[in-house]
Structure 1
Amino acid sequence: MKYKMLFALLMFFQFTSAQNKNRITTGLEDREFWVKSLYKISYPVIHNLANETLKKNMPLAHNPDYGLNLTKVTYLEAVGRTMAGVAPWLALPDDETKEGKMRKTMRLELLKGLTNSVNPASPDYISYRSEGQPIVDAAYVAQAFLRAPKALWEPLDELTKKRFIEEFKSLRTRTGAYNNWLLFAGLTEGFLLSIGEQYDPARVQFAVNKMKEWYVGDSWYSDGAKFSMDYYNSYVIHSMLVDLLKVLADKKKAPESDYNLAVKRMVRYSEYLERLISPEGTYSPYGRSITYRTAAFQALAQTALMDKLPEYIKPAQVRCALTKVMRNMYEGNQNFDDKGWLVLGFNGHQPEIADIYTSTGSLYMATLGFLTLGLPADHKFWTDVFAPWTSLKAWKGEPIKKDYKVEY
C-alpha cells in the first residue's frame, strides 16, 4: 500500500508538472520569465565586474583543443556579449515596479563595472591591446553603446569615455579573419563616428562593401568567400550590418537606401528563424558555435524590437515561440553551474561541442536573444494574447502562409 501511494503521488506530480509546462501563459507572465532569465544569465558577469571580482570568480572552462590566449580574451568576451544583449532592456526608463528596480540595479552596476574595466589600476582592467579576439568583443561593447547611448555611454565620466576610445583605437594595430570579422572592425569604427571621434573610414567601407559582395540571396549572407550553414547570419551579420548602416546613414556617410535594404533582408531572415522554432519550442543544433544558445534568434528579436515583423507574423506569436525556447533552455538549471555561470554546451554541460575558440566568456552571446525586452511592458508584443507560431500551426493542420524566396 505504501509503494502504491508513493507511485500515485509521483504520477500526480508528473502530471501537474506537465500541465504547468504546457499551460498557456499571459504576456505579462512571459515577460516576467524573460526578465528573470536574462537577469540570471547576466548577473554573475555584471555584478562581479562592478565589484572588481570578475577575473577572480569567473570560471575558465574551455574545450581541450582551445586555441586562444584564454585569460587575455575571455573576460572581454563575457562583458561585451552580455552588454550587447542587456542594452535595450537597460535603455528603458526607471520605474517602481519589481522589474524596474532590477533593471536600475543592473544598469548602475554595469556602469560601475565599465569604469573598472578600462581603469588600468583595477584588478578587472581588460586590455584591448593584444590578441586578435578583442576585435570581436570590442564590437559588442560598441554595439551596446549604440543600442543604449543614454543609459550606458552618456552617464560615463569623461575619463572613462576617453579610456574606451583609446582602447577602441588600439585595435587598429591588428587584423582578423576574412569573414564576419570585417563587421566587428567596422562597427567599432562606426561607434567612434557616432560620437564625433576620428574613425577609420576604410575599415567601415571595406566591411560594408564585402557584405554586399557576400550576399547570396533570399536574406542569406555568406560568411566570407564560402557559404557556411550555421547561425552566424543571426549571431553577427544581420544585426551588426543594420546597426552599422544606421550610423552611416544618420551621419550621411551612406545612402538611406543601403540601410533600408539591410533591414528588409533582416526582416526576411527573421521569417526563417520564426519558422525554425518547432511546436515544442526546440530548434536544430547545426553549424558551429551552437554553444551561443539563444543568440541564434538575435535577428528575430531585433526585428521585433524594431517593430518590423512581416504583417503575417504577429508580435505575440514571436513572443510565444521564443518563450517556449527560453523555457526549454533556462527554466531548469542544466545550463548553469552551482554559482550561476553558464556552462559549455547547447542544452546542458556538453563540453565536447565547444569550438576551439569557445570559453566561458564566449557563452554570454546567449543574451542577444533577449533584445525584445527593450519594448516596454505595455507594447502589444507583451500584451496581446497567446498566438501560435508557424510550425505549431503547420503541425496542427491549420492554415499557414506559403514561403517563397525574395529577390532583393
Structure 2
Amino acid sequence: MHINVTIGRKPWLLATYLLATLLPVCSFCHPISVADTSFAGQQDRKLWCNLLYKMASPVVFNLAAGTLKKNMPVEKAPGYALKAEKVTYLEAVGRTMAGVAPWLALPDDESSEGQQRKKMREALLKGIQNGVDPNHPDYLNFRTENQPIVDAAYMALAFLRAPHALWEPLDALTKKRIVAEFKSLRSRTGAYNNWLLFAALNEAFLLSVGEDPDPARIDFAKRKISEWYVGDGWYNDGPSFSLDYYNSYVLSPMLVELYAVLLKHQRISQQEYETAVKRLVRQAEFLERFIAPDGSFPPFGRSITYRTGSFQALAQAALMNRLPEQVSAAQVRGALTAVLNRMYTTCNNFDANGWLILGFCGHQPGIADYYTSTGSLYMATLCFLPLGLSANHPFWTSPTADWTSKKAWSSQPFKKDYHVDY
C-alpha cells in the first residue's frame, strides 16, 4: 500500500496521524503504539509543563499578589524544631525558583506552554520584588535564623540558571535589596556538611553579579567537599557517609553550579570543573537505575518528603546534555515521566488549594523530618529542569525508550554497571 498525500507544507502531520491512530489498529501490519512515536515526547512535555505549573502556581502567584503569608498553609513535622513563620516562606520561594528557572529562561512564543511560561515569569519577577521589600507584607526573612542560608542558595541557583529571565529584568532597587539580603547571611554559619555549599553558592551568586564575594566561604567549601568525595560519584555529607538523596538534592548539582561560576571568573581550572561534572554524571547514572519499571523509587534516607527533588542530579545532567554513556535522553524522559505519573497521578500529594502536603505518597506527616514544613516540600520542583530544553530538543522529540530497570525486568539487554575511578 502506498500513500502520497501532503497536508499543506507539513507532510509529517499525516505521518504522525497514521502512526498515532491508523497503524495501531491495522490488521495486516505490526501494531505501533503512540508511545513509539515522537508525538509521545510532546505529550510528555505537556504533562511536565502542566504539572510544574500546578505545583509552582500557589507559591509564585500568591507572592506576586502579596498573599503568600496569608494563604500558604504551614504544616510542620512532628517534633519540628525551627521557627516556621521565620523560614518556611523563603523555603517555598527559593526552592520553587530553582526548579522553574530553566523553563522560564526559554523565549516567549504563542503556544499554550509559552503563555504559561510568560505569565509565571512575569508573576515571579513581581514576587521577587515584593519578597525583598521591607515594607511589603510578604517580605521574606533573610536576616535571622540559620535556615535562610539554605534557601537563599536555592534562589541563587535560580538566578544562575536563568540570569536573563530572572535577574536582568529586575529594577535597580530590587537588585540592590537582593544583594544586601545575601550579604546579611554572612552573620551566621550552618552545619558542617552540605551547608558549606549553600554558603559558597550564595557568595558565587554575588560574584556573578559583580559584587565582591567572601573568598573564605568559597574556598572552605571547595576544599571540604573535595575531601569528602568517597568515589564512584558519591560524597560524604560531612565527615561521615549518609545513604540518602543529598548527593542529588545538594552536593553534586550545587558543586557543579558553583564551579561553573568560578571557572567563568578564572578561579578554578577546567579540569576541576570537568571532574565535578563527571561525578554528577555518575550520580545521575545511579538515579536512572533507581527508577523501577512502574516509576516508583526507593524511599530511603533523610528528607524523602522532597519527593521528586531526589532526581535533581539526573535532571541537571539532562539539561546540560551530559547524560551517562549509553543512557539516552529518551530513556531518561521515559523514566522521569513514569516517576511524575506515579508520584502525582497515583498519589494525591496536593491539598484542595494546590499546595503540597507533608508526605511521600499522600499525606504522611510522620515521615517528615524535624526541619520540614510546607515550604520545604518545594524541592520537588527540581526534577523539572529538562523543561529548560526547547520542545524540539531530542530529549522531547526522540521516540520513547525503556530505561535501565525496565530493560532489566523485561529480559532486554542492558548495560553492565561498574565503579568509576574519577
**Normalised-by-shorter TM-score class:** over 0.9
1:316 aligns with 2:316: no
Contact 2:34–2:40 (Cα < 8 Å) also in 1: no
Indicate conservation of the 8 Å contact 2:38/2:396, yes or no.
no
State the distance in 2 between where 1:42 and 1:20 align. Answer: 29
Choose the corresponding residue for 2:318, options 304, 309, 318. Answer: 304
Q: Secondary structure at the match of 1:62?
A: coil
* CA displacement 1:258-309 (0-9 Å, x = unmatched): 1110000001111100011001110000001000000000000000000011
- Report if the CA contact (8 A) 1:25-1:386 is conserved: no
Percent identity, aligned pairs only, is: 63
1:266 corresponding residue in structure 2? 280
**1:373 paired to 2:399:** no
Structure 1 distance, partners of 2:296, 2:221, is: 33
Separation in 1, partners of 2:159, 2:280: 21
Do the aligned residues in 1 keep the contact of 2:347 with 2:361 (CA within 8 Å)? no
Aligned mates of 2:142, 2:283 — CA distance in 1: 32
Q: CA deviation at 1:366?
A: 0.2
| Alignment of 1:89 onto 2:122 | no
1:250 aligns with 2:271: no
| Alignment counterpart, residue 357 of structure 1, candidates 356, 371, 381 | 371
Partners of 1:263 and 1:29 in 2: CA distance: 30
Q: Deviations over 1:178-231 (max 9, x none)?
A: 000000000000010111101101100111110000000000000000100000
Shift of 1:20: 11
1:382 aligned onto 2:390? no
Give the C-alpha shift of residue 25 in structure 1.
7.2
Conserved? CA contact 2:350–2:356, under 8 Å: yes
Structure 2 residue aligned with 1:143: 157
User: Kindly tell me: are residues 49 and 296 of structure 1, through their superposed partners in 2, closer, same or farther at Cα, counting changes over 3 Å?
Assistant: same
Deviation string for 1:108-152 (max 9, x for gaps)? Answer: 000000000000111000120100000000000011000000000
In the alignment, structure 1 segments of 5+ residues that lack a partner are 1-18
1:63 to partner: Cα distance: 1.2
Q: Give CA deviations for 1:20-78 in whole Å, capped at 9, x if unaligned.
A: 99x99700000000000000000000000000000000001011200001100000000
Q: Does 1:281 align with 2:295?
A: yes
Deviation at 1:331, TM superposition (A): 2.3
Matches within 5 A, 1:148-163: 148-163=162-177
Counterpart position of 2:147 = 133
| C-alpha distance 354-24 of structure 1, shift in aligned 2 (>3 A) | farther
Structure 1 segments of 4 or more deviating over 2 A? Answer: none
1:38 corresponding residue in structure 2:
52
Q: Output the CA distance in 2 between the equivalents of 1:139 and 1:211.
A: 16
Query: What is the match of residue 352 of structure 2?
Result: 338
Q: Deviations over 1:140-182 (max 9, x none)?
A: 0011000000000000000000000000000000000000000
Superimposed CA distance per residue, residues 356-390 of structure 1 (whole angstroms, 9 cap, x where no aligned partner): 00000000000000000000000000000010000
* Alignment-derived partner of residue 79 in structure 2: 65
Give the corresponding residue for 1:16.
Answer: none
Cα gap change, 1:254/1:305 in structure 2, threshold over 3 Å: closer, same or farther? same
Aligned counterparts of 1:277 and 1:264: Cα–Cα separation in 2: 21
Mapped contact 2:78–2:368 kept (Cα < 8 A) = no
Give runs of aligned pairs for residues 388-399 of structure 1, distance below 5 A: 388-399=402-413
Could you tell me which of 103, 113, 122 is aligned with 2:136? 122
TM-score, normalised relative to structure 2 = 0.91
Aligned residues: 390
Pair 1:239-2:253 in alignment: yes
* Distance (whole Å) between structure 2 residues aligned to residue 349 and residue 293 of structure 1: 12
**Residue matched to 1:172:** 186
> Contact 1:83/1:140 (CA < 8 Å) preserved in 2?
yes
Aligned with residue 119 of structure 2, among 100, 105, 121: 105
Secondary structure at the counterpart of residue 242 of structure 2: coil
Paired with 1:42 and 1:253, the residues of 2 have a C-alpha distance of: 35
The reply on whether 1:210 has 2:214 as its aligned counterpart is no
Task: Give the distance between the partners of 2:107 and 2:186, measured in 1 at CA.
Answer: 36
1:216 partner SS: strand
Letter in 1 for 2:215: P
Paired position in structure 2 for 1:14: none
Residue identity in the other structure for 1:178? Y
2:341 aligns with 327
Is 2:65 the partner of 1:51? yes
| Distance in 2 separating the partners of 1:24 and 1:233 | 32
Equivalent position SS for 1:122: coil
- SS at 2:108's partner residue? coil
Does the CA contact (< 8 Å) of 1:292 and 1:366 recur in 2?
A: yes
